[in-house]
Amino acid sequence: MYTHTSNETGAVPPRASWLARTGVGRALAVLAVLTFGSAMAQQGGSAVVSFQDDVATLDPAIGYDWQNWSIIKSIFDGLMDYTPGTTELIPHLAESYTVSEDGRTYVFTLRQGIKFHNGRTMVAGDVKYTLERTLDPATQSPGQGFYLTIEGAQEFIDGAADEVSGIVVIDDSTVQFTTSEPDASFLHKLGLNFAHIVPRETVEAANGDFGHQPVGTGGFMLKEWVLGQRIVLERNPDYFEAGVPFLDELTFQVGVDQNVAFLRLQRGEVDILGDGIPSARYTEVMADPTWSKQVSIGEQMQTGYVTINVEMEPFTDLRVRQALNMAINKDRIVRIINNRAVPATQILPPLFASHDVNYAGYPYDPAAAKALLADAGFPNGFDTVLYAYNVAPNDRIAQAIQADLAEIGVRAELRTQAQSTVIEAGGAGEAPLLWSGGMAWIADYPDPNNFYWPILACASNIPGGWNWAKYCDESIEARAAHADTLARTDQQAERVEEWRSIFVDIMGDAPWIPIFHELQVSMHSTNVTGPDAIFVDPMHIPVHYEMVRRAE
């Protein structure tokens, strides 16, 4: 039995150790550490973060985008977490845990004295309630699928059981999980916001509106929410992590155009550009000796891609999908975003050990693409529709994709729409082609299976799901399920190779056109700083922000 406690400095649990050993442990977003001369960090103060899109919910069981994840992470906590800026998985609300030799039973001992924002002490029953709430179909949680390996989860979902048998409250301080088979990523999943602990009485009192009345155990508490304008958080004085958060108050301004936000940052009215530097200003910012010092750049586990709906004619023909893959000039698209990315040959980003450095992908070859289309019965091309998010630079990228497709005779009508509309079209299976920019996949947790199960699996090929390609290969699904049972430390090399071959074989089916792996670029004022990678680490914004005192 493996035991891990929160006092083991620098220890990495077996389920995450392969990441560290193979180099993926560099960081969820590898940092660009900033220094501010003689500036000194100080407790207190306030900061402002800008976002262009509004925030729909702060319910951890529901929220699933960049904006609400960072806010949810500030209000709620889970049993597991990561050291900020790394993939080092550590106990958080759990003080310690043990894992059985067969990798199926996890026993967590909770920290003592953890309080919800309503003043009540958190107990093991809250953990069971939280996970069952996420699994409950009535919650409509997009995270439900992450926890299906818990014993009895499917029976609970189907209504054949009143509780999940694999979640057992031993006493107020101890909770046990049993999985139906070894699950190599289970500890990572307990660090997701879908498993962040909530108080039952507050959820029920909210009567379906908990997403606007959030109560957790996190470093910040909700102070004010003016819909469409701002969300204001205040420091939780009872937070269990000593010394954090540093800020007394944090405001998220929503509905702020990127260019307006940039001007506000210059005037000292905004501290963090939540959507990054506007593309049109990037070169100017990086060339400025002052502004460039306020920029953090890091790698991230991200892929931007075009989905091809494999259930829609003519994309049911593999030759057509392969032709589209060969039609796109990815180098030119990278230049559109000021070289803030590397061209992608495959689905899995380079930070993963299972990324195949020897796989070259589909070459950019319009002539060969035309020949494939002719062979498939489309010598004169065909008409189709390309959906895209209507915020720069995604509109320009979509136009470039449209132009490249036109070169091989594929006439794509461009529909640039609001993010929610594009996501809805993809989930409903209405989008023949969909450029994922602004919604591109960033790892929920640092494990290769996260680039399969939510977005390419048969299980995620459902109405409203994120498998916008509507791709399903039962044999690959079986291999993926087997790979996830390889949970022991001595099986990790085998697991890395299995996932590598899975993603290469998926590319053989060409349900996606991988375009690039984008860098994370963040800009902040000189009033706020922090340790390590917090400006490019979506998991810890903004609990670890610090205010600084400038030298006189």
For the record, the structure tokens of 408 come out as 């091989």
Taking the alpha carbons at both ends of the chain, their separation in whole angstroms is 56
- Concatenate the DSSP letters of all residues of 319-347 into one string: HHHHHHHHH--HHHHHHHTTT-EEE-SSS
Tens of pLDDT, residue by residue, the chain (552 residues): 444 554 433 222 222 222 222 222 222 222 222 222 234 456 788 889 999 888 989 999 998 877 788 899 999 999 999 877 677 899 999 999 999 999 999 999 999 999 999 999 999 999 999 999 999 999 989 889 899 999 999 999 999 999 999 999 999 999 999 999 999 999 999 999 999 999 999 999 999 999 999 999 999 999 999 999 999 999 999 999 888 888 899 999 999 999 999 999 999 999 988 888 888 899 999 999 999 988 888 788 899 999 999 999 999 999 999 999 999 999 999 999 999 999 999 999 999 999 999 999 999 999 999 999 999 999 999 999 999 999 889 999 999 999 999 999 999 999 999 888 999 999 999 999 999 998 889 888 889 999 999 999 998 898 888 999 999 999 999 999 999 999 988 999 999 999 999 999 999 999 999 999 998 888 888 887 665 445 555 444 455 556 553 332
Identify the pLDDT of residue 479. Answer: 98
Could you count the other beta carbons within 10 Å of the beta carbon of residue 268? 11
Q: Which residues of 278-301 are buried (b: 16+ CB within 10 A; e: fewer)?
A: bbebbeebeeeeebeebbbbbbbb
pTM for the model stands at 0.83
pLDDT at 70: 83
pLDDT of residue 12: 27
Q: Are 159 and 151 in contact (CB under 8 A)?
A: no
How far apart, in whole angstroms, are the C-alpha atoms of residue 107 and residue 65? 30
- CA–CA separation, 184 vs 351, rounded Å? 18
Residues 200, 203: Cα–Cα separation, whole Å = 5
Secondary-structure breakdown of the chain: helix, strand, coil percentages, each rounded to the nearest 5: 30, 20, 45
Closest Cα partner for 330 from 309, 345, 350? 345
Q: What pLDDT, on a 0 to 100 scale, did the predictor assign at position 6? A: 47
In the three-class reduction of DSSP (H, G, I as helix; E, B as strand; rest coil), residue 312 is classed as coil
> Which residues lie closer than 8 Å to 357 by C-beta, 6 or more apart?
350
Give the integer Cα–Cα distance in Å for 547 and 538. 19
Nearest CA to 4 out of 84, 92, 77 is that of: 92
Q: What is the pLDDT of residue 42?
A: 63
Count other Cβ atoms within 10 Å, centred on residue 377. Answer: 11
- The confidence score (pLDDT) of residue 311 equals 98
